[in-house]
Structure 1
Amino acid sequence: MEFGAVSDEMEVKAPAAEAWKVYSTLQLAKLVVEMRPDLVEKFEVVEGDGGVGTILKLSFPASTPVFTYSKEKFTVVDEEKRVKEAEVIEGGYLNLGFTLFRVRFEIIEKDEITCITKTTIEYEVKEESAANASFVSTQTFVEIMNAVATYLTTKQL
């Protein structure tokens, strides 16, 4: 097995509590579909209400070169630490030989009006599929963070 992790972060001119309201709920998926259908075409709630154990099916546009869908399960929604984690449980990276693909979003309070949004991807990939580790990138999640930042800063105007 090959293990790895990559992360990225950005500063957002919005209070951490406001950012967490988006990231901690299903509003994140709704926002991404609405603002960035080029990243996620649609989502369906397979099970749950947005808390731990919720399963989403994400459908990706035809222009996505590697896969068409994935199912993710929320494994952590920590209100106190403002951390949310989801793991791919079907499709997506699992079809490329990954045994684990976990995405974490963290909202870090910088001051009353500014926060840091951070995304981390942790993965395990089978040795025979190790070359597919090159597909792992924070780019999509940085684009999601940008969309949320735009939403947060424009809704406050």
Structure 2
Amino acid sequence: DGSGSIPKEDFASLVDFVTTFVGSFDIGAEAVNLGIVQFSSDARDEVALSADKEAILKAAGAMVQMQGGTNVAAGFNHCHEMLKAGARQNSRGSVVILLTDGASNDSAAANAAATALKQEQKAKVISVGVGSNVSEAELQQFCSPPLEQHFHR
């Protein structure tokens, strides 16, 4: 979530989290592939699905906050297209991690996009609420069951 409702210091914390998170994985052609999508009013690749750990870490560290609205649906839809384009034959499945501070501009569209990711891409969706204005009910409807594993505040 790179929307304008996230204070700059919180966005910097998100970037640090993403960098640490990426650094913890064995990334490679026969291991984990990772991509980063940032969304606000629209969504964009920060790095397309990749097996190049150095490139992913460089892109994560260079992220600039987009500002704008909180269009979670755009983020989910962008992830859906990224996963479809980068599907691997022997994949063990996909995981989408949503990091956001609050309610989407269009909860129904975001829920539909999350459902499509889960059904069509067989992706597990993990929701992580950031900050003090988190809409827990909304984030819980986006994530895959069980909530104890896939919803974090």
**Same fold, judged at TM 0.5 (above):** no
Q: Which structure: greater strand fraction?
A: 1
Q: Which structure: greater helix fraction?
A: 2
When Rg is computed on C-alpha atoms for both structures, the one with the higher figure is 1
Q: Which of structures 1 and 2 has the larger relative contact order (alpha carbons within 8 angstroms, sep 6+)?
A: 1
Output the TM-score relative to the length of structure 2: 0.30
Output the TM-score relative to the length of structure 1: 0.29
